[in-house]
Every structure is written in structure tokens, then in C-alpha cells.
Structure 1
Amino acid sequence: MKGVLVKDLYIARSNIFVTIVSLVVLGFGLAFLLEISALLVLAPAAATTAAFISITSDAASGWNKNVITMPVPRNQIIGEKFLFYILLAVLGTLAALVPCAVIACFGMKITLYSLLLYGTIGMSICLLAGGISLPCAYLFDPEKSQIVFMMSFMAGAGIITGLVLFINVLFPVKENVLLAFNIVLIISAIWFFISYRIAVKVYQKRDIS
């Protein structure tokens, strides 16, 4: 699986670099308009586009026919894509922290609370969206998969809204905002793992042609 992951990182390196630079530049621009830590909501989603491009390009180039002849189980092939997705989300988050750190050095107030809150929201949306779009990339053709990928982030935001409303029934979210979104993050991580298991079953039954 390590070799397949290195392959994806190598192919996507230019896209990853452009995304990271764009996030850093955008962060400095947002600093003059709104709270810069809000960039952490956008960063993971922006960074993970390379994972989706990797799946569609594998199908277009015929890589799927080659990789199944290698001594790599199909569950590891899928696991690599999910791991790649997580790595990109983390890289995006770290990139968003760069302008936050620089601006904080110049005296702009950035609290740890806001970083944790926005970072939790961004990662939750990313996990929920990935849990929807990654299995669909192996179910549908590239065009339909692209539509699902774009809509999955809106769906993720909607799911988070529903989860927060449900949690608010259990305890007041306004008084425990960070706790509520940590619960959302845990649920999102569980969903992402379930999605991985679903994708593995889909891929194992799929006829690669």
C-alpha cells in the first residue's frame, strides 16, 4: 500500500503545492475581512480535491487494470485512497495554520478556542463529505462522481447542522459549543470508517474492465 500511496503523492504533488500556496495566500487576504481562523473550515475540503482527481485519473488511465495484478489486496487499494484523503485534509489544515501563526506574530488576536472550533468543523465536513463521495467514485462514472463530490460538501454541512440540532436536545450547544462539535467530529470519523468498509465491498465485487 505504501508504494501506491507514494505514487498518488508523486502524481498529485503539483496540485497539492498549488492548493497549499493558494490557502496560505487566501488566509492573508481573509485576515483583512474576517476572522482568519475561519479558513480552517475551507482548508481540508480544498486540499482533498487531489484525492478525488486521483481516483478518476486512475480509471481514465487504466491504472485500475494494472493495480489489481499486483500483490496488493483490494481492501488495501481502497484503504490507500482513504488514507490519502486524510493526509491531504491534514496538510490543508496545517497550511491554513501558517497565515494564522504569521498574523498572530504581528499582534492580531487569534484564540486557541477559535482554531480548535473551526478546525473541528472543517475536518468534520471533510470526513462526512469523503464518506459520501469516495465510495460513489467506485460506483458511478467520472462525470456523475464529480457531481457527487461537489455536492457531498454541501451534504456534509447539512448533516452537521442536523447533528448539532439533535445534540442541542441533549444539552445546550451554546454553552458547550466545542464539546458539541467534538461529538460531531467523532461521529464523522465513525462514518468515514464505515464508508471505507462500504467502498471495500463495492470494489471487491466490481468487475475492473
Structure 2
Amino acid sequence: MYRLIATFIILFAATPALEVIKYESKSGYEKYVLTLPVTRSNIVQSHYFFYFLVVIIGTLLSYSIFYVYGLVSDTPIDDGIFKSVSLGTFIILNAGAIAYPLLYVFGAEKSDAITIGGACGGLVTYFGLQSVIGYLIEQFPISNLNSSVYVSILYIIFGVILYISSFFISVFIYRKKEF
């Protein structure tokens, strides 16, 4: 249950960052911004940076909510909360990594379906990456680190790597896009 709540907190914090593209398209801002002295890669970079910043804020908010809950209810905070929050961060980062290139290709008119598809893609990536993470833990055991913390850190690292690779794909797509 904690995992679902942690993911929803991060998702609700990050959803407005994806909605920005829809409102930019409706207002005609994406055509206007090209007349400003910025490059297309700066535009994509600002979208990605804003989304990443909102995901970090959602992650901190989610973890702090569980931390305060643990203090108020005298429930001990274990590694499961950190794992739940990091898995939620991984899923939401992958949702953005999938959604942004698709938004640039198909346009903001289909943004609701793309956002839902990105979230489902993040879940599929999570389930697909479980075996890779398990293999890495078997091959490179770290004796002084708890395995659940190790798994959580690996998920965050993989999420950031996928998000950064998605950025380069989006820059390539946005440079080719005609308005």
C-alpha cells in the first residue's frame, strides 16, 4: 500500500509538468518561442529540467510525508519506505522519458493518452528491469550495504540514465519538427 501511495504522490506532483506542453500548444506559445533567441534544444532542456525538478520535489514530499507519519504514529521507518519512494521515482521518471518524445512526435492534442501510456510504460519498464537488477545484485554484491537500499539506488540510477537518453532522443525529434 505504501508503494502505491508513494508513487501517486510523485505522479500527482509531476502531472502538471506534462500538462505544460498541452497549454503551450493551445496558446500558440511553441510557435512564438521559436522567434526568441533560444535554441530548440534549450526548449526541450527546459521541459526536461522542469519535469525532473518536479519529480525531485514529489520524491522529497513523499518521503517526508512517510517520515512525519512515522514520527506521529510511533511507527518505525524502515528501508521499505525508501524502496517504495525510489521505485515511485523510477516509474515516474520513466513515464516522463516515454511521454516527452511521444508528445513531440504526435503533438499535444493526444497528451492525455500519451501521459497515461507513459505511466503504463514506466510500470512495464519496472517489471522488465527487475531481472536485470537481480542479476546485477548477484554479480556485484556489496557486503556492507543492505540489499533493499542497493536495489533502490540501482533503480534510481537506471531511471536517471533512461531519462537522460530520452532527452537526447527528444532533442533530435524537436529539431526535425516543423510548426
Moved over 4 A (4+): none
Report the Cα distance in structure 2 between the residues aligned to 1:199 and 1:171, rounded to whole angstroms: 32
Tell me by how many angstroms 1:75 deviates: 0.8
Matched to 1:72, the amino acid is V
Q: Counterparts of 1:39-78 in structure 2 under 5 Å?
A: 39-78=5-44
- Residue deviations 1:38-59 (CA, integer Å, cap 9, x gap): 5322222221111111001101
- Residue deviations 1:42-88 (CA, integer Å, cap 9, x gap): 22222111111100110111001111111111111110000110111
Tell me by how many angstroms 1:135 deviates: 1.2
TM-score by length of 1: 0.74
Q: Does 1:199 align with 2:170?
A: yes
Counterpart in 2 of 1:157? 123
- Residue of 56, 78, 95 corresponding to 1:90: 56
Unaligned runs of 5+ in 1: 1-33
Other structure's SS at 1:48 match: helix
Q: Counterparts of 1:1-209 in structure 2 under 5 Å?
A: 34-35=1-2, 39-171=5-137, 176-208=147-179
Pair 38,197 (structure 1): closer, same or farther in 2 beyond 3 Å: same
Q: Is the 8 A contact 1:123 1:185 kept in 2?
A: yes
**Which of the pair has the greater relative contact order for Cα pairs under 8 Å at 6+ separation?**
2
TM-score by length of 2: 0.85
Report the Cα distance in structure 2 between the residues aligned to 1:110 and 1:157, rounded to whole angstroms: 28
Tell me by how many angstroms 1:128 deviates: 0.9
Q: Is the 8 A contact 2:62 2:85 kept in 1?
A: no
Q: Is the 8 A contact 1:51 1:81 kept in 2?
A: yes
- Residue deviations 1:141-199 (CA, integer Å, cap 9, x gap): 33433212102112211211111123324445xx8233123222211111111111111
- Residue deviations 1:80-139 (CA, integer Å, cap 9, x gap): 000110111122223324432432232331415123211210111011111100111111
Q: Is the 8 A contact 2:9 2:58 kept in 1?
A: yes
Q: Is the 8 A contact 1:47 1:89 kept in 2?
A: yes
Deviates more, 1:47-56 or 1:145-154: 145-154
Give aligned pairs, total. Answer: 172
Report the Cα distance in structure 1 between the residues aligned to 2:76 and 2:4, rounded to whole angstroms: 11
Pair 97,188 (structure 1): closer, same or farther in 2 beyond 3 Å: closer
**Residue identity (%):** 26
Q: Is the 8 A contact 1:51 1:84 kept in 2?
A: yes
Q: Is the 8 A contact 2:14 2:51 kept in 1?
A: yes
